[in-house]
Amino acid sequence: MDEHYAYLVTQIFKKNDDANLWSQSRWATMLKKTYEDENKMIDDIFDEEQCCICIEVIVEDDFSLPCNHIFHRNCIKKWIKKSKTCPLCNKIHNVNI
């Protein structure tokens, strides 16, 4: 169990001793589901490929440098004109885009 999730559950039960509240297992189940859903949403966001130059999701018209980093074609074209290096790993590339 993740330490943040465990801390949250612990804090709820320290403050709520009322017998009318849901059982600890129901609270734990509800919180676990919420926690897993939020982590899934965060994972989904980071699964999308982003151009590190403009910070937008790459949907089409992408370009991969020889170092295998991917960018929007227009973004990396402008970048390479100013600097012959990859914005992520700083490897030098002599490419025509």
Find where tokens 């009322």 sit. Answer: 18
Report whether pLDDT(19) > 50: no
| Count of C-beta atoms within a 10 Å radius of residue 50 | 15
Do 90 and 61 have their domain in common?
Answer: yes
- For residue 24, the enclosing domain spans 3-47
Q: What was the pLDDT predicted at 57?
A: 87
pTM: 0.51
- Higher pLDDT: 2 or 85? It is 85
The mean-pLDDT minimum among 39-43, 75-79, 80-84 falls in 39-43
> What is the total count of domains within the chain?
2
Q: What was the pLDDT predicted at 1?
A: 52
Query: Which residues 6+ apart lie within 8 Å of 9 measured at CB?
Result: 27, 28, 31
Do 40 and 78 have their domain in common?
Answer: no
Residue 90 binned pLDDT confidence (cut-offs 50, 70, 90) = very high
Do 79 and 38 have their domain in common?
Answer: no
d(CA 48, CA 6): 29
Query: Which residues 6+ apart lie within 8 Å of 83 measured at CB?
Result: none
